[in-house]
Amino acid sequence: MKFEDEPVPGYPLPILPGHTSPGRFERVLRAGGFAVTTELAPPDSADPEDVYKRARVFDGYVDAINATDGSGANCHMSSLAVCALLTRVGYAPIMQISCRDRNRIAIQGDILGGAAMGVCNMLCLTGDGVQAGDHPQAKPVFDLDCVSLLDIARTQRDERHFQSGRKISFAPRVFLGAAENPSAAPHVWRPQRLAKKVAAGAQFIQTQYCYDLALLRGFMDQVEALGLFGKVYILAGVGPLRSAKAAEWMRNNVPGMHIPDAIIARLSGARDQALEGRTICIELIQAMREIRGVSGVHIMAYRQEESVAEIVERSGILQGRSPWYPERDAPQYSHRTAAS
């Protein structure tokens, strides 16, 4: 969809009534669109072009791009910096904030800084333990947890003060999110935990990978029973599996990952496992769209980012709409022929 008040890249959109951010992502969700988000793996480099290159592969296929914050407890370019680079050219990033590496003083400062640089969406996370990453010798901070972080971010925005009570003169205008894992134990209590996040300030949720649709359906039923539909937008997490071996590895090594045996069997029986992985992903997306309360999908294609375009295209979830990207509305000189 195209907004008439489409801004100069890097400038905020006007804020609509009932919205808390001037961002496109919130607009798409509140307008009832089926949103598509993805994840950008921050580079191990100080070259901004490395960020732009990684963002461009999603052009025209996603509504927002998550900038991960030391995901898997591995060190990369910071989430705040990736977001600042992305907003410069108009992309809509979702800034991930993990509680693992920074205390409340640093985090509240980053929320203001991010918002000042045009970041409209922030995802509040607990973060993986340091043991999972490349610096297991580091000190884990965890001054906050994701729920108290949400509460603090919401206070900064709505009540315009820091946790200390000190005033904020211009509040960060942000759309706040959190993660949830419908596939992890304790399944029956996950929706309660989601309710807590919503009470603390979460307006959207991006789930971890859901390869087990039965679990996701059960989760969504409970979320509905708790009366949360309409209070929070839920984007289901998916991603292409490259091979049966990769899936097996992820299942054993990525915290909270649940991949049913049937999926692994299907992959190992395929001639082209990577293609089969994408097909499974597309089928999941199409099934997710039919689940009541699912407002979009979050496609995580680590190290296969270029496959996101194909997955979105083949799944048909955008239904012909073309999410904004820097060159979208530029005149298409390339299509001119000598005769015209």
Partner 1 sequence: MYAVRLWSVRHARGLHAFYGGFEALLVQLNGLFRALGYERIERPTAAVEKVVKGLLFDCRMCGQCVLSSTGMSCPMNCPKTLRNGPCGGVRADGNCEVKPDMRCVWLEAYHGSERIPGGVESMSKLQLAVDQRLQGHSSWLRVTREKSNARASP
Which one of the spans 39-47, 142-150, 299-307, 322-330 is the region binding partner 1 (CB under 8 A)?
142-150
Cβ neighbours of residue 43 closer than 8 Å, sequence gap 6 or more: 50, 51, 54, 76, 77
Q: Which is nearer to partner 1, 109 or 256 (CB)?
A: 256
CB of 303 to partner 1, least distance (A): 21
Strand partners, 125: 98
Interface residue with partner 1 among 176, 195, 247, 280 (CB under 8 A) is 195
Q: Which is nearer to partner 1, 63 or 128 (CB)?
A: 128
Element (H, E) at 50: helix 48-56
User: What residues numbered 206-225 form the site for partner 1, per CB under 8 A?
Assistant: 208
φ/ψ region of 298 (left if φ > 0, alpha if ψ in -120 to 50, else beta) reads beta
User: What residues numbered 241-270 form the site for partner 1, per CB under 8 A?
Assistant: 255-256, 258
Work out whether 186 is an interface residue with partner 1 (CB under 8 A): yes
Q: Which is nearer to partner 1, 53 or 231 (CB)?
A: 231
User: What is d(CA 280, CA 269) in angstroms, rounded to the nearest whole number?
Assistant: 13
Interface residue with partner 1 among 104, 289, 321, 328 (CB under 8 A) is 104
User: How, if at all, do strands 233-238 and 294-299 pair?
Assistant: parallel
Work out whether 232 is an interface residue with partner 1 (CB under 8 A): no
Work out whether 102 is an interface residue with partner 1 (CB under 8 A): no
- Spatial contact of 90 and 65, defined as CB atoms under 8 Å apart: no
- Spatial contact of 50 and 86, defined as CB atoms under 8 Å apart: no
Which one of the spans 17-25, 57-65, 184-192, 293-301 is the region binding partner 1 (CB under 8 A)?
184-192
Q: What is the rounded radius of gyration, in angstroms, for the C-alpha atoms of the chain?
A: 20
Interface residue with partner 1 among 146, 215, 223, 264 (CB under 8 A) is 146
Element (H, E) at 83: helix 79-88
Work out whether 163 is an interface residue with partner 1 (CB under 8 A): yes
> Comparing C-alpha atoms, which of 51, 25, 48 is closest to residue 40?
51
Residues that bind partner 1 (CB under 8 A): 99-100, 104, 126-129, 131-132, 140, 142-149, 151-152, 163, 179-181, 184-186, 189, 192-193, 195-196, 199-200, 208, 255-256, 258
